[in-house]
Amino acid sequence: MKNKSFFLGIGILIINGCSSIDKKNNTRILQENKIENYASEVWKSDQGDGTFINPILHADYSDPDVIRVGDDYYMTASSFNCAPGLPILHSKDLVNWTIINYAINKVVPEKVFDVPQHSKGVWAPVIRYHNNEFYIYWGDPDFGVYMVKTKNIAGVWEAPVLVMEGKGIIDPCPLWDGEKTYLIHGWAGSRAGINSLLTINQMNSEGTKVIDEGKHVFDGHEKHHTLEGPKLYKKDGYYYVFAPAGGVATGWQLVLRSKNIYGPYEEKVVLEQGSTKINGPHQGAWVTTPNGDSWFFHFQDKEVYGRVLFLEPMRWEKDWPVMGKDLDGNGIGEPLLHLKKPVVGKQYPIQTPQENDDFNDGKYGIQWQWYGNPSIKWSAQIPGTDYLRLFCMSKKELPNLWDAPYLLLQKLPAENFTTTTKVKLNIEWETNGKTAGLLMMGQSYAYTGISFEDGHFWIKQVTCMDAINGKPEKVIEKKKLQKNEVFLRMQVKAPDASCYFSYSEDGIHFQTIGESFKAQKDLWISAKMGIFSVSEANVRMGSYADFDWFKVSK
């Protein structure tokens, strides 16, 4: 049996504060999805003294959107080609978050995303609550605007609906305004041939289809290049558009306002890097607490670590939002690092998105995503087992793992951390060319893994530089093992996510192997860590790897 002493006790998150939510059904679903009261060893925003530090999530939840329903907060974010997609996170205090669901099991169109479509898929979603239903809209730059909805946010979501077909239509946001329903969106220049424009269409009352050709309402070319990601709100007679500009890594947060939804719009820059080290603080969501306080979510691009999430105080002055603190005196807010927590009327336990996994009942936790749409052929999740079985999937014609959809990955949780797993490689028919391992994935990647070659089990450390361009893997070091079971470890260190690999045959004494590797980001997403089981092409099918557990520690 495995040693589970390092795992936290299971605590069930019950969503409340909204009468339309089926609490009993939600609890069952959360239990089935292994939702833990989990607190990371490597990054906690909540300081336990009534304050928090930014980022609230040191993980790649890019283009976040957040809403409040009653006393509960819900977040979603871009998921691109990873599946399941559209993560749903829950919080009671805006600081402590846990993953509770995904809105789509597979990215659509499904056949397209059965193989990794790097940088494509789910871009900049928005989550809204209207008429007792949750809605998520997102733009796919190659196909158009999609929508999914549900009455039970922790349950099953309806199938995606294509609301607006077309290339380059991105970053949508709906607004139900009396008897009319609107959709604002931006444009991806790579597909549409235009960008830095914001456009508003009318939709039918159900929010399932646009019903006009739309009107441009703001042009950012002169002062706000790469204007995108609009969020449309209405407050005190004004229509507000919160929109980032200037690009992911170096941009700023713009707010527009008008008494008429089609403009003309006044403009004001409300958040920028300024004198801080927080580059490109923009693109996110305005949310209020039950007592009326305002807060603003945004991201910071940290390259290999992805776009990490910040929470800024916000207030209103003369019908304009004021964010963060104006540290350099130019009238524009700047991000803050250490603040008092939002006042929500109660203290809640420290929680973070899940990382560790004991693979009980053969299931993997909700923190994991595949590199492409999942297939039932990749794993055997059998009740009563205490490991996750991954089958050795054939690489076929692939030169490396860059386009392999069967990689099981999760986000990097901090700048510095160590991850360890235990794996047993089971060989059928004495077939060579089988490998299972612990992986740091990106445009270049590296792993340490156990393989079966020449009738023996080996531990090896492998790198693949420039995998994105089809370059082959290189074995850096290889040693013979005494058995088919091994502990694999990867230590990650700031500032550039340098990875150091080691292994152990007894779980106590670890030996270094290979050389250090600087992790690289994927296209539009961070590097990701995870596990895999693979077979070389042109060898007999069969063989599988049983992963006993996966742990993230300091």
Residue-wise DSSP of 233-292? EEETTEEEEEEEES-TTT-EEEEEEESSTT---EEEEEE--TTSS--S-EEEEEEE-TTS
Determine whether 171 is an active site residue: no
- Are 553 and 418 spatial neighbours (Cβ–Cβ below 8 Å)? yes
Question: Using CB atoms within 10 A of its CB, is residue 316 exposed (0-12), middle (13-18) or buried (19+)?
Answer: exposed
Length of the chain in terms of residues written = 554
What does the pLDDT look like over 111-158, one tens digit per residue? 999 999 999 999 999 999 999 999 999 999 999 999 999 999 999 999
Q: Which amino acid is at 99?
A: I
Q: What band does 13 get if pLDDT is binned at 50, 70 and 90?
A: very low
In this predicted structure, what is the pLDDT of residue 24?
52
3-state SS, residue 360: helix
Q: Does domain 360-553 have CATH number 3.20.20.140?
A: no
In this predicted structure, what is the pLDDT of residue 445?
99
Peptide bond into 109 cis (omega under 30): yes
Distance CA 437, CA 447 (A): 6
Distance CA 151, CA 444 (A): 41
- Mean confidence (pLDDT) of the chain: 94
Distance CA 344, CA 439 (A): 40
Determine whether 228 is an active site residue: yes
pLDDT higher than threshold 60 for residue 310:
yes
Q: Quote the tokens at residue 51.
A: 């304050």
What does the pLDDT look like over 234-289, one tens digit per residue? 999 999 999 999 999 999 999 999 999 999 999 999 999 999 999 999 999 999 99
Percent of the chain with pLDDT strictly greater than 70: 94
Write down the catalytic residue from 36, 46, 60, 63: 63
What does the pLDDT look like over 166-190, one tens digit per residue? 999 999 999 999 999 999 999 999 9
Q: Does domain 45-340 have CATH number 2.115.10.20?
A: yes
Residue-wise DSSP of 25-70? HHHHHHHHTT------SS--SB-SSSEEES-SB-S---S-EEEEET
Tell me how far CA of residue 434 lies from CA of 4, 282, 315, 426, in angstroms. Answer: 28, 45, 58, 9
What does the pLDDT look like over 494-515, one tens digit per residue? 999 999 999 999 999 999 999 9
In this predicted structure, what is the pLDDT of residue 162?
99
At residue 98's C-alpha, the angle toward residues 351 and 83, to 5°, is: 150
| 96-123 average pLDDT score | 98
- pTM of whole model > 0.75? yes
| 31-37 average pLDDT score | 58
pLDDT higher than threshold 80 for residue 14:
no
Q: Quote the tokens at residue 345.
A: 């009327």
Residue-wise DSSP of 94-132? SS--EEEEEEESS-SSTTGGGS--TT-SBEEEEEEEETT
In this predicted structure, what is the pLDDT of residue 15?
31
| 189-212 average pLDDT score | 98
pLDDT higher than threshold 80 for residue 229:
yes
- Are 62 and 306 spatial neighbours (Cβ–Cβ below 8 Å)? yes
Q: Quote the tokens at residue 409.
A: 């990955």
**Alpha-carbon dihedral of residues 127, 128, 131, 134, nearest 10 degrees?**
20
Percent of the chain with pLDDT strictly greater than 90: 91
Q: Quote the tokens at residue 439.
A: 């992986």
Residues of the chain with CATH 2.60.120.200: 360-553
Residues of the chain with CATH 2.115.10.20: 45-340
Write phi, then psi, for 53 (nearest 5 degrees). -115, 150
DSSP H helices in 317-473:
none
- Are 254 and 268 spatial neighbours (Cβ–Cβ below 8 Å)? yes
Beta carbons within 8 Å of 131's beta carbon, 6+ residues apart: none
Beta carbons within 8 Å of 530's beta carbon, 6+ residues apart: 368, 407, 408, 409, 410, 438, 439, 441
The 10 Å CB-count burial string (b at 16+, else e) for 213-250 is: ebeebbebeeebebbbbbbbbeeeebbbbbbbbbebee
Q: Is 497 left (phi over 0), alpha (psi -120 to 50) or beta?
A: left
pLDDT higher than threshold 90 for residue 358:
yes
β-strand partners of 411:
528
What does the pLDDT look like over 82-91, one tens digit per residue? 999 999 999 9
Q: What band does 325 get if pLDDT is binned at 50, 70 and 90?
A: very high
**Alpha-carbon dihedral of residues 256, 259, 262, 266, nearest 10 degrees?**
-30
Extract long-range pairs of 133-136: CB within 8 Å, 24+ residues apart: 134/74, 135/174, 135/207, 136/76, 136/86, 136/103
Tell me how far CA of residue 454 lies from CA of 437, 447, 504, in angstroms. Answer: 19, 21, 22
In this predicted structure, what is the pLDDT of residue 33?
52
Write down the catalytic residue from 46, 228, 415, 546: 228
Q: What band does 37 get if pLDDT is binned at 50, 70 and 90?
A: confident
Q: Which residue has the tokens 């929010």?
A: 207
- Are 330 and 324 spatial neighbours (Cβ–Cβ below 8 Å)? no
In this predicted structure, what is the pLDDT of residue 6?
33
The DSSP H or E segment spanning 160 is none
In this predicted structure, what is the pLDDT of residue 11?
29
What does the pLDDT look like over 396-425, one tens digit per residue? 999 999 999 999 999 999 999 999 999 999
The DSSP H or E segment spanning 23 is helix 23-32
